[in-house]
Amino acid sequence: MAKARTQFVCQNCGTVHSRWVGKCEGCGEWNTVVEEDPMGGIGAGPGRVPKKGRPVALTTLSGETEEAPRIHTGIAELDRATGGGFVRGSAVLIGGDPGIGKSTLLMQSAAALSRMGHRVIYVSGEEAVAQVRLRAQRLGAAETDVLLAAETNVEDILATVGEGRRPDLVIIDSIQTLWSDTAEAAPGTVTQVRTGVQAMIRFAKQTGAAMVLVGHVTKEGQIAGPRVVEHMVDAVLYFEGDRGHHYRILRTVKNRFGPTDEIGVFEMSDIGLREVSNPSELFLGERNAKAPGAAVFAGMEGTRPVLVEVQALVAPTSLGTARRAVVGWDSPRLSMILAVLEAHCGVRLGSHDVYLNVAGGYRISEPAADLAVASALVSSLAGLALPADCVYFGEVSLSGAVRPVAHTAQRLKEAEKLGFSQAVLPAGAADLPKGGGGRWTEIEGLPDLVARIAGSRGALGKSDEDV
């Protein structure tokens, strides 16, 4: 019989090495490679005992499904992010930094589903029963029929949830605490986490229960992160937010049963998470419209428009090299906008520090924010405030052209709803609504924008040779 070989697995990215190495070739992290037994675990690798295959019954694509395939939680922001509720028989991974509010969100969902008569089992591997109860009391969930267990052993959990009436929803909090007798690796390693998750997914598929798995995102790579199980689950949601701010965003990064560009927005309060159905009001909450360097971006998150303020500060540098700092946006993208401003608009920023911030700790991922960023930068440099009732959106290309983006009508509608009567947008948008009445300024290139904001070149402090 062949000698059982061990393998060396990176705890950060899951790359398998044939020998121990100090630096993982997959992700470049140091000291993340741990020796593990590949044969251990439920369903791991080719089994030790060769077994003859058993034919499974083939079926057709059409057929009766007797119950609603989705379980609506009634928490609109959560249902929006999952694409209409949890899917029966599926596994959802909810990742996020420790302390961001994953357990809170799931306890609230569990309570909501339990109130609707669903059988919900909450398995806590991190907190004792008393602690979970305390949180439930605070969230007003203590009087519901949510079934609670504090357990970390995979086999015990499976035996528990498999007993009695089939649960509609099982919550495992968290996957990092799971450990199985069958996997020969220390708890918290990739092998243990994978084994546990695999067993939970199998339970979901076999019984039709919806499975929600919580995973902490760890930057150090000490404990196997949710990334190593992302490919195994049906949907991956990340719960994000800034510790300094109260609101939290549930972002879909993978969904086999729905769209992936939706977000759910919540606000953390002292009685748990509160839904925020109009995020724009939240992000524009503390706006000082008179200050230079602030531009309101009319963005889109999935099917929902979101208005958010982009703030720029441009100041002469006191150091040899100018500083560039970005919060809430892409740093290379800022460099690109600065280069385009310099090359095509004659705006010299080489000897200026540039700071860019997206208000409220929000993170923008759309290229459509280019125009708002450029406006904020020019406004700050010129020392001239932008009109308070104007929104900006459009993608900037390297040639300095401003290109149309999708959902023009929806962005403008949201802006109007929130009292913005003007907009600066790319020329030639296909779905520009008729009857703008001159309130919408269509621009073709970045130089037009600079001319509009700064007006005379004096405002940008340019000398005649610069132009």
Q: Site residues (CB under 5 A) for Mg ion?
A: 103
Confirm or reject binding of residue 215 to ligand TYD (CB under 6 A): no
Closest approach, Cβ 96 to ligand TYD, in A, equals 6
Q: Which partner in Mg ion, ligand TYD, none is near 159 (CB below 5 to 8 A by kind)?
A: none
Which residue matches tokens 């929130």? 418
Q: Tell me the CB-side half-sphere exposure of residue 5, using CA atoms within 13 A.
A: 10
Closest approach, Cβ 57 to ligand TYD, in A, equals 41
Nearest to 364 by CA among 335, 402, 324, 393: 393
Site map for ligand TYD, 112-141, x if CB under 6 A? -----------------------x--xx--
**Neighbour count for residue 306 (Cβ, 10 Å):** 23
- Report the alpha-carbon distance of residue 175 to residue 194 in Å, rounded: 9
Write out the two tokens for 207: 């019984």
Q: Are strands 147-150 and 120-124 parallel, antiparallel or unpaired?
A: parallel
Site map for ligand TYD, 256-275, x if CB under 6 A? ------------x-xxx---
Site map for ligand TYD, 80-99, x if CB under 6 A? ----------------x-xx
Helix and strand element counts for the chain (H, E): 10, 23
Confirm or reject binding of residue 251 to ligand TYD (CB under 6 A): no
The residues, any chain, with a CB within 8 Å of residue 360's CB and separated by 6 or more, are: 245, 247, 282, 283, 285, 308, 309
Q: Which of residues 373-432 bind ligand TYD (CB under 6 A)?
A: none
Closest approach, Cβ 15 to ligand TYD, in A, equals 27
Closest approach, Cβ 273 to Mg ion, in A, equals 13
Q: How many residues interact with ligand TYD (rule CB under 6 A)?
A: 15
Confirm or reject binding of residue 100 to ligand TYD (CB under 6 A): yes
Residue whose CB is less far from ligand TYD, 51 or 243: 243
Residue whose CB is less far from ligand TYD, 67 or 270: 270
Q: Is 335 helix (H, G, I), strand (E, B) or coil?
A: helix
Q: Where are the beta strands (DSSP E) in 159-271?
A: 169-173, 210-216, 235-241, 247-255, 263-269
Closest approach, Cβ 114 to ligand TYD, in A, equals 17
Confirm or reject binding of residue 102 to ligand TYD (CB under 6 A): yes
**Residue 446, Cβ density class (10 Å: 0-12 exposed, 13-18 middle, ≥19 buried):** buried
Residue whose CB is less far from ligand TYD, 235 or 349: 235
Residue whose CB is less far from ligand TYD, 216 or 333: 216
Q: Are 361 and 385 in contact (CB under 8 A)?
A: no
Closest approach, Cβ 102 to ligand TYD, in A, equals 3
Which residue matches tokens 């929000």? 362
Per CB under 6 A, residues contacting ligand TYD are 96, 98-104, 135, 138-139, 268, 270-272
